[in-house]
Amino acid sequence: MSRKQQVPRPGLELGGDDTGCPILHVDMDAFFASVELRERPELAGTPVIIGVPGPRGVVLSATYEARRYGVHSAMPMTRALRLCPRATVIPPSHGKYAEVSRGVMSVFREITPEVEPVASDEAFLDVSGARRRLGPPAVIAALIRERVAAEHGITCSVGVANSKFVAKLASRHCKPDGLFVVPADRVVDFLHPLPVAALWGVGERTERSLARLGVRTVGDLARTPVATLRRELGQAAGAHLAELAWGRDERRVTPHTPDKSIGAEETFAVDVADPVEIRRELLRLSERVAARLRAGGHAGRTVSVKLRRADFSTLTRSRTLAGPTDVARELYAVACDLYAASGLEGTLIRLVGVRVENLLPAEGAPRQLSLTERENGWREAERAMDRAARRFGRDAVLPASLVRPRQEEE
């Protein structure tokens, strides 16, 4: 029996007829947290928060058990732990998430070349060309969910619809670990009961403006004259929302455009002026960014450093290298030079960041060896560190300056 015959069509049971619905929106469920739970299965079913503990840390991801307490992404960690004091907090491992994301996107591209990543954990797919080979859209959606779970140990939710906008709402509708089809002839029935905030482009300010007009649902918006919306929200925004309220979204799935940059930043628990401590954080961030570059198969030529003072004013400095790199040692050397040239040594710093731009594929990218570097040198050593981190955890192998004395940990 073929794979196509083995996969049931749960989407039809959940939503209805998938005829004319070639657009899929696939969204990983609590992505960072789900990746961590693969290695910590004893925490399954418990509240888990991914983020850096401390008064200035923020939540990057949370399991649905933690979300029931009101915890959500971008929330200050202190507030999250007040809401859910029994949550387990796990520091993020960005290199690991990038590697899993790359594997999941590969699954999508084996289904169809028409894949548009939106973030590391979600993408739109146009499966029009895959129907003859794999079956109707709901069957393909079920196949994707099956493969992501089997090959990567995490779950995803899939919305199936006739447009990107409706497919994204459908995937949100069936979270977590679900599949939902919005039939082409029932788009308006699906949209109109939803709160107006469900529409793309409706933030808090727009929602307040619409509330003054008595518009609280998408149906209310659809029944409001376009001229009124344009007058209240502006010509472009008013017309855009009027179209969405009737499910009209003509945007096509645009295949992957390469990442423009990869970076990481850290807010200190207390403002820091000590250059030694700041350079140590620059090293930590350089290691993190380099690991993410290698996990994504990238190398980059432009290195930038972000320095935010205690008064929240921010300084950014960058340098373009002679050749691309994905080596933390090289990123760190440039970052330290940029910090030294910033004139902020000895100044209280609240946040530091390291970013690499002008990305290109690492394989085949020309590299200029330094006079003191052997042909098999730091890059190979750092790749070995990547393998150790995947097997034993991200802190298994660290530069000596990042290993704190035992008394600092206690």
3-state secondary structure at position 161: strand
The token pair at 184 is: 């082409």
Which among 400, 305, 393 has a CA at the least distance from the CA of 349?
A: 305
d(CA 368, CA 29): 41
Residue tagged active-site, from 99, 116, 122, 330:
122
Q: Is 122 a known active-site residue?
A: yes
Q: Which residue's structure tokens are 């401390």?
A: 54
**386 labelled ligand-binding:** no
Burial class of residue 148, CB neighbours in 10 A (0-12, 13-18, 19+): buried
Identity at 409, one-letter amino acid code = E
- Helical H runs in 269-392? 275-296, 328-341, 378-392
Nearest to 238 by CA among 201, 276, 285, 197: 201
DSSP 195: B
Helix 275-296, helix 378-392: angle, nearest 10:
80
> Is the alpha carbon torsion for 101, 107, 109, 111 positive or negative?
negative
- Is 326 labelled as part of a ligand binding site? no
Nearest by Cα to 46 from 71, 26, 27:
71
Which residues are known to be catalytic? 122
Q: Which residues sit in the known binding site for Mg(2+)? A: 27, 121
